[in-house]
Amino acid sequence: MGTPLSNRPQATSAAQAIIRAAAPDDCAHIAVLLSELGYPATEEFVRGRLAAIAPQPDGKVLVADLDAEVVGFVCLQIIPLFHLAEPLGRITTLVISSKFQRYGIGRRLVAKAEMLAWEHGCGAIELTSGDQRSNAHAFYEAVGYEQVSRRFIKFRPLSAD
């Protein structure tokens, strides 16, 4: 579980990570992080997603950059709701490299995403997390999130071609 202490970075260096907007040069690092999270991705896939989301006023992709290495990222989307006057902020992805977890990088990324959501007038921020991710659930609760509902999903059926 986690990275052995001898292979972990110095806490002081991880605290120096710069939180900034994702750029096309970050795509290879982001692909590795997505794969680590359990979503195998190629650099080309990430480049396409970044090109689709980043220019939109309702989509923000932020990275934690430590010495020119992306060690974490978050994607925030602003969603207008029909039944409420204020939009909803939705953290659709958050991943920190296992080597850099528990150094505050996730907290910093979430805090920056929250700041952007509040600036865009969001009344709340939500995220979803798989039932198997108990460490992530503990993190989300530690940064002020609470479980308040259930999620139901239906996947598009495979075509009969």
| Spans of all domains in the chain | 5-142
**pTM: predicted TM-score of the whole model, two decimal places:** 0.86
Q: What is the pLDDT of residue 9?
A: 57
pLDDT of 138 over the 70 cut: yes
Instruction: List pLDDT tens digits, range 32-79.
Output: 999 999 999 999 999 999 999 988 889 999 999 998 899 999 999 999
Q: Give the C-alpha separation, 17 to 104, whole Å.
A: 10
Q: Give the C-alpha separation, 120 to 108, whole Å.
A: 19
Which tokens belong to 39? 């979503």
1 or 85, greater pLDDT: 85
Q: How far is CA 60 from CA 53, 56, 79, 117, 129, in A?
A: 7, 8, 12, 10, 19
Q: Which of 28-32, 142-146, 157-161 has the highest mean pLDDT?
A: 28-32
For 94, other C-beta atoms within 10 Å of its C-beta total: 22
CATH 3.40.50.150 fits 5-142, yes or no: no
Q: Give the C-alpha separation, 88 to 125, whole Å.
A: 6
